[in-house]
Amino acid sequence: MIILRLSWLSLWNRRGTVLLTALGIAVSVMLLAGVNKIRTDMRTGFANTISDADLIVGARSGPVNLLLYSVFRLGDATANVSWSTYRKVAAHPQVAWTIPLALGDSHRGYRVLGTSEDYFAHYRYAGDRPLVLGQGRIFQGLSEAVLGAEVAEALGYKPGQSITLSHGVGEGSFNEHAAHPVIVTGILKRTGTPADRTVHVSLQTLEALHDAAGADLTPESLTAFIVGLRDRTATFQIQRDINEYRGEALLAILPGVALQQLWEVAGVAESALLVVAAFVVFAGLLGLLTALLTSLNERRREMAILRSVGARPQQVFALLMSEAALIGLIGAVLGLAALHGGLALAAGWLEARFGVYLLGNGLTAFELITGCAVVFAALFVGAIPGWRAYRHTLADGLTLRV
C-alpha cells in the first residue's frame, strides 16, 4: 500500500506529463475496442437485415451471390425464376407465406424492387421489427411507389410527387420509362437495412413499364423470392426439394448459413483492422516507456534519496512498475469510458439519422480483457525503467550535479 501511495503522489506531482501519456493510451484502447465493437455490430447488423425468413430461393448460382443481390441489393442475378415455378413453391402445404422480388430497374442510382403487399406484411428485420410507414400509405395499384427513407431524404421526395424509373442499375442506367411516371404514395421509416435505399413498386407496375401494351400484367419471372414455413423442422426437406427440382435450376439457401459464408470471406479484412488497432495500442505503450525513461534521468536524485532513507532496490523497482501500471489503468479506464460515453450520446442520433441500432452499451468480455491486458503490458513496460533504477547505486544519485 505504501508503494501504491508513493506511486500516486509521484504521478500527481508530474500530472501534466502523466495525463498526456494516459490520453495516448486511452485513444489506442478506444480505437481497439471501437474497431471490435464495429466489427461485431456490423455482423449483427447484417444478420438483422432479414429475420424470420426460412429460405431464399433464386436461380442456381452461389449462396453468397444469391444473398447479396436478393437481400442487400448488391450485384445481379445470373438468371430469373419463372412465375409458374414460384407459384408451385408458394402453393406447397408447408409454405406459410412468400415475398416475391423483382430487380433490374433503378431510379437515380437507387434500386427499384418489384414486390407484393406481402413484403410489407411479412418482411422482418432486427429480430421481429416490421417495416413501418413514416408518411403516406403502401402502393395499392399501378404506377405507385413506396420509397425507403434514404431515397426520400437524399432526393427530397414527398408523398404525391411523380418520379420516373429507368431500366438498368446505377447512375448511368438507360432506357428511362419517361412515358410511365409513378406516384410516391408512402415513405418508410428508417430501418438501417437496404430497404432504406430502395424504391418499392408492385410487380404489376414493373410489368406495365416494360410492356405497356400488354393486357395481362402477370409477371413472367422473378429475380428471387423469400419463403416462410409453417413448420421450421421441415426447412431442410423443403430446401432439398427445391434444390432438386427438375423443372428449373433453383437454389434455396438458409440466410444464416449464407451470412456465415459471407463473413468467412470478410474475415481477412476484419483481422487486418484488429491488427492495425493492436499496433496503435503498442505505439501507446511505447509512448509510456519513452515517458518513463525520459523522466528517469531527472529522477535519479529522487531515487537516491529514497535509497538513503531506507528504501531497498526492490522497492524502487516496484515503485516504477506500479507507476507504469497506474498510468496504464488510467488510460484503459479513460479509453473505455470515452467509447461508451460517445456511444450512449450518439445512440439516438445514429438510429434516427442512419437507422443504426447499437447492441447495448455495457462492457463486453473483449473490452475487459483489453483493459486488463493494457494494464499488465504497462506493468511489463515499467519493468524496464525499474531495472535501470534498480541498478543505480546510492552514490550515483548523490553525486549528480544539479
pLDDT tens-digit map of 142-157: 899 999 999 999 999 9
Q: Does the predicted model carry a pTM greater than 0.85?
A: no
Mean pLDDT of 99-113: 93
Lowest mean pLDDT: which of 26-40, 110-124, 323-337, 354-368? 354-368
Find out whether 168 and 112 touch, Cβ atoms under 8 Å.
no
pLDDT (tens digit per residue) in 251-291: 999 998 888 888 777 777 777 878 888 888 888 888 888 88
Close Cβ partners of 135 (under 8 Å, ≥ 6 residues apart): 158, 159, 186, 187
pLDDT for position 203: 94
pLDDT for position 289: 84
* Integer Cα distance of 256 and 251 in angstroms: 15
Q: What's the full length of the chain, in residues?
A: 402
Find out whether 390 and 317 touch, Cβ atoms under 8 Å.
yes
pLDDT (tens digit per residue) in 208-261: 887 755 667 889 999 999 999 999 999 999 999 999 999 999 999 999 888 888
Which cell numbers hold the place of 234?
A: 421441415
Lowest mean pLDDT: which of 25-29, 202-206, 288-292? 288-292
Residue type for position 131: L
* Integer Cα distance of 239 and 252 in angstroms: 6
Mean pLDDT of 64-87: 92
**Percent of the chain at pLDDT exceeding 70:** 85
Find out whether 53 and 74 touch, Cβ atoms under 8 Å.
no
Find out whether 384 and 293 touch, Cβ atoms under 8 Å.
yes
pLDDT for position 212: 59
> What is the residue-averaged pLDDT of the chain?
84
pLDDT for position 87: 96
pLDDT for position 333: 94
pLDDT (tens digit per residue) in 301-358: 667 667 666 667 777 777 788 888 899 999 999 999 998 888 888 776 766 555 556 6
pLDDT for position 121: 94
248 closest CA partner among 219, 230, 226, 222: 222
Sign of CA dihedral 350, 356, 360, 365: negative
Q: pLDDT: is 217 or 10 the higher one?
A: 217
* Integer Cα distance of 10 and 84 in angstroms: 81
CA distances from 30 to 95, 222, 371, 380 (A): 47, 47, 10, 21
Residue 374 pLDDT class (50, 70, 90 cuts): very high
pLDDT for position 301: 67
Mean pLDDT of 67-79: 89
* 182 has pLDDT over 70: yes
Only one residue has cell 479484412, namely 269
In sequence order, what are the beta bridge partners of 166? 106, 176
pLDDT for position 402: 44
Which cell numbers hold the place of 317?
A: 523497482
How far is C-alpha 328 from the geometric centre of its chain's CA atoms?
29
157: helix, strand or coil: coil
